[in-house]
């Protein structure tokens, strides 16, 4: 990674309430979090479960997609909310902050490549990456890093995507990518390497996608659930469709755009959705997907403090990340 594309973790931001300096049962994340400069040769030991946070401080994709900029500050805001989260897991869990990928010069491709390199490094060290966006162009760099790590191990990346999103993000890219093109770019990557493109999108809004995008999704074999189907409490049907998709792939990249959530709970996003999903439904489906034990990484994108109210969206991101980590710990018997 080039120096101007990466910033080592600033551990001074990890601070908050301290109930005890000795009793681990009273610890919060800021007391357990360690820093990891990805440019250093030595990596920390992940223990029985290693979780690595890395930020993608980028608005360039949103800017190109004509959205509301501000998500580049999302990683900082989410970390502040995570600082006081309780350590609801055993001391066999390792938490590290692996710093931030930057996009200061508008070179989105270089920044996405740097994120891919960071994710691949994190995976090789045995950690589960949680990427904090940034615009949802985050997903392309994250996917490429996961795919590279899988190819190193298995020779081919069998990697399905489950995306919580109001949008397909399958738009054409005549010149360059944006926060609306990532999954078309991933499909092109897969085709070039003779790999399958497996994509499931949960939370699609009919009012936010053109008919051509629905046609494109059909052409590419994309599976999806409309937000209205979730609102109609068709939980069993959604679970069955998720299970069928997960059964058909060995590894899962889990990604979430905050604009999938109702704006009553997530006002601080690039494109607000008044009829978006309820947080309880999202968390329920996230935990079900994680119980498959196939998820290799999670990213959350488009948390924009600029448009937030009382940090509601950042706090929601915190709750979802806590839920992801808790589900991973429960899989390994490390939850307390």
Taking alpha carbons only, the member of 222, 225, 182, 235 closest to residue 205 is: 225
CA–CA gap between residue 10 and residue 160 (Å, rounded): 33
Residue 155 lies in a domain: yes
190 part of a folded domain:
yes
336 inside domain: no
Domain count for the chain: 1
Residue 257's domain comprises 3-331
In the Cβ-directed half-sphere of 104, how many Cα atoms lie within 13 Å? Answer: 9
**Rounded to a whole number, what is the distance in angstroms from the first to the last CA of the chain?**
37
Per-residue pLDDT of the chain (336 residues; tens, 9 = 90+): 666 799 999 999 999 999 999 999 999 999 999 999 999 888 999 999 999 999 999 999 999 999 999 999 999 999 999 999 999 999 999 999 999 999 988 999 999 999 999 999 999 999 999 999 999 999 999 999 999 999 999 999 999 999 999 999 999 987 789 999 999 999 999 999 999 999 999 999 999 999 999 999 999 999 999 999 999 988 999 999 999 999 999 999 999 999 999 999 999 999 999 999 999 999 999 999 999 999 999 999 999 999 999 999 999 999 999 999 999 999 999 999
- Domain presence at residue 285: yes
Instruction: Give the three-class secondary structure for 203.
Output: strand
Closest CA to 314 of 273, 265, 276, 260: 265
Q: Distance (Å, rounded) from C-alpha 144 to C-alpha 186? A: 8
Beta bridge partners of 132: 55, 300
Instruction: Tell me the CATH number at 32.
Output: 3.40.800.10
Which DSSP string corresponds to 21-65? SS-GGG-BHHHHEEE--TTSS-----BTEEEEEEEEE--HHHHHT
Pairwise CA distance, residues 66 & 182, whole Å: 15
Peptide bond preceding 298 in cis form (omega within 30 of 0): no
> What is the C-alpha to C-alpha distance for residues 105 and 110, in angstroms, rounded to an integer?
10
Phi, psi for 267 (deg, rounded to 5): -75, -25
| CB-based contact 314:80 (threshold 8 Å) | yes
């Amino acid at each position: 990674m080039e120096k101007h594309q990466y910033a080592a973790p600033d551990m001074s931001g990890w601070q908050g309430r301290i109930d005890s300096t000795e009793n681990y049962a009273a610890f919060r994340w800021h007391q357990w979090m360690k820093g990891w400069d990805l440019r250093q040769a030595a990596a920390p030991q992940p223990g029985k479960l290693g979780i690595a946070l890395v930020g993608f401080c980028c608005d360039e994709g949103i800017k190109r997609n004509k959205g509301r900029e501000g998500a580049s500050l999302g990683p900082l805001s989410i970390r502040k909310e995570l600082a006081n989260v309780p350590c609801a897991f055993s001391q066999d869990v390792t938490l590290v902050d692996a710093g931030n990928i930057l996009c200061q010069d508008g070179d989105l491709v270089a920044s996405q490549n740097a994120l891919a390199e960071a994710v691949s490094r994190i995976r090789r060290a045995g950690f589960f990456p949680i990427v904090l966006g940034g615009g949802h162009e985050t997903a392309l760099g994250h996917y490429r890093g996961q795919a590279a790590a899988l190819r190193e191990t298995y020779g081919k990346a069998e990697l399905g995507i489950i995306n919580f999103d109001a949008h397909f993000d399958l738009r054409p890219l005549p010149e360059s990518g944006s926060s609306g093109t990532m999954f078309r770019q991933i499909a092109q990557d897969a085709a070039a390497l003779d790999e399958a493109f497996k994509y499931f999108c949960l939370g699609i809004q009919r009012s936010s996608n053109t008919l051509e995008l629905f046609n494109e999704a059909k052409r590419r074999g994309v599976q999806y659930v409309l937000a209205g189907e979730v609102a109609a409490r068709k939980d069993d049907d959604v679970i069955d469709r998720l299970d069928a998709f997960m059964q058909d792939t060995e590894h899962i990249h889990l990604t979430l755009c905050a604009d999938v959530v109702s704006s009553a709970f997530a006002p601080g996003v690039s494109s607000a959705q008044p009829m978006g999903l309820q947080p309880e439904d999202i968390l329920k489906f996230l935990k079900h997907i994680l119980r498959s034990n196939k998820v290799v990484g999670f990213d959350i994108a488009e948390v924009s403090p600029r448009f937030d109210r009382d940090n509601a969206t950042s706090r929601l991101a915190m709750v979802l990340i806590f839920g992801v980590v808790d589900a991973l710990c429960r899989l390994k018997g490390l939850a307390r």
